[in-house]
Amino acid sequence: MRSTLRALTGAAALAATTFAAAPAFADGEVNIYSYRQPFLIQPLLDAFTAETGVKANVIYAKKGLGERISAEGANSPADILLTVDIGRLDGAKQLGITQPVVSDVVNGNIPAEFRDPEGHWIGLTNRARIIYASKDRVSQDSITYEELADPKWKGKICTRSGQHVYSIGLIASMVAHHGAEKTEEWLAGVRDNLARKPAGNDRAQVKSIFAGECDISIGNTYYMGKMETNEKEPEQKEWAASVRILFPNVEDRGSHVNLAGVVLAKHAPNKDNAVKLIEFLTSADAQKIYAETNFEYPVTPGVEVSDRVKAWGDLKKDALSLDDIAKNRKTASELVDKVGFDNGPSS
């Protein structure tokens, strides 16, 4: 078993790679399939290994990991799956690739609202889906998601694909609040206000604001911290400096939040070590790393957000249940296609 962290940047590369060179049940190791990028989880895995001596082996891909675990069946080397979005967490459960996490430690660390009632997924952090606004061209200091369909924003909005899990989560929350018909009208209005076809990731949208291509964009909160502290690509600091964060709907229901989380694989060959890792990830120490290094919102009570995150303003969370978001994801995806959202404003 290779003991070094391995990161693959796509499903194609992943398909050609397996945990090899030693049995998957080797002592002192845990095998992780991860949708979360390696740079986001490396500090946590380093801390886990330092504390327990257990080596963490990681395979990363943007898609297809749940399906891969399903295809591998009882022979899968995967112990846990790290993922983002309630849809992927619930989807892993629906695929039948999970088993309940039985741990008083986890139950004591993570409030019930961030855990599957049957223990098949555990939430680890919150992130808010917020608005990045140009400091130079946007004067208002408040906004709502509903307002994104206002014609005053015509040609001024940038966003990533409507079919991305981050987008689907937000749209699903709109369906839960307003129904499918009203959400379709809203989504068509947002489409008409786009500056261009949806493309790129959340950081790319902020880059577009910096370049003057749009005035506002939709993105996750933690990307601001990642850009503000990016020493390898210092131009991202300039992108971040050109915008400020607006938390939507602070005067009513609050901003849409979603989860990053973890599941225990059904056939985990290193189950004890996997549970150890899950317990560690829910601990106050790990949650502090999430807060300070990844600029996310901890879900373990008593762990504060970082000073950098505090500086962005207070987050009022939409109290909509994660189950309501999950059950409306299919409708959200259908609406994205129905209005031709990813075709851009001319559709």
Are residue 220 and residue 111 in the same domain, yes or no?
no
Tell me the Cα Rg of the chain: 20
Kindly provide the residue ranges of all beta strands, DSSP E only, lying in the chain, ordered along the sequence.
29-34, 55-60, 80-84, 98-99, 122-134, 157-158, 216-220, 243-246, 257-265, 297-298
* Interhelix angle 65-72/86-95, nearest 10 degrees: 10
The answer on 320 and 239 residing in a single domain is yes
Output the pLDDT for position 59. 93
Look-up of token digits 């600029």 = 295
Give yes or no for residue 5 having a pLDDT over 70: no
Do residues 287 and 143 share a domain?
A: no
pLDDT of residue 37: 82
pLDDT, position 16: 34
Q: Is residue 4 part of a domain?
A: no
Do 328 and 267 lie in one domain? The reply is no
Residues 336 and 328: their CA atoms lie apart, in Å, by 13
Q: Is the pLDDT of residue 65 over 60?
A: yes
Q: Measured between alpha carbons, how far is 269 from 256 in angstroms, rounded to an integer?
A: 36
Confidence class for position 22, pLDDT limits 50, 70, 90:
very low
Mean pLDDT calculated for residue range 310-318: 95
Q: Which of 239, 237, 227, 245 is nearest to 311 (CA)?
A: 245
| Mean pLDDT in residue range 2-17 | 37
* Residue 23 in this model has a pLDDT that exceeds 50: no
Q: 113 in a domain, yes or no?
A: yes
pLDDT tens for each residue of 185-242: 999 999 999 999 999 999 999 999 999 999 999 999 999 999 999 999 999 999 999 9
Q: Are residues 232 and 180 in the same domain?
A: yes
Instruction: Evaluate whether residue 191 is within a structural domain.
Output: yes
Count CA within 13 A, CB hemisphere, residue 194: 25
Say if residue 117 is in the same domain as residue 153.
Answer: no
In a domain, 181, yes or no: yes
Contact 130, 155 (CB under 8 A): no
CATH of the domain at 210: 3.40.190.10
Residue 116 shares a structural domain with residue 131: no
Structure confidence at residue 84 (pLDDT) = 87
Q: Flag whether pLDDT at 19 surpasses 80.
A: no
In a domain, 1, yes or no: no
Domain count, the chain: 2
Tell whether 190 and 327 lie within a shared domain: yes
Angstrom distance (rounded) from CA 203 to CA 218: 10
State the pLDDT at residue 347. 62
Across 14-33, average pLDDT: 59
- Tens of pLDDT, residues 144-186: 999 999 999 999 999 999 999 999 999 999 999 999 999 999 9
What's residue 323's pLDDT? Answer: 85
Residue 131 lies in a domain: yes
3 state SS of 221: coil
Domain span at residue 70 reads 11-125+257-304
Is there a single domain that holds both residue 117 and residue 229? Answer: no
pTM of the model: 0.86
For a pLDDT cut of 70, what percent of the chain falls above it?
A: 92
Distance CA 67, CA 312 (A): 37
**Does residue 321 share a domain with residue 264?**
no
Residue 217 located in a structural domain: yes
169 and 227 inside one domain: yes
83-108, pLDDT tens digit by residue?
988 888 999 999 999 999 999 999 99
Rounded (to 5) percent helix, strand, coil in the chain: 45, 15, 40
Residue 213 falls inside a structural domain: yes
Q: Are 247 and 328 in the same domain?
A: yes
Tokens of 281: 């990830």
Q: How far apart are CA 290 and CA 297, in angstroms?
A: 8
Q: How confident is the model at residue 13 (pLDDT cuts 50, 70, 90)?
A: very low
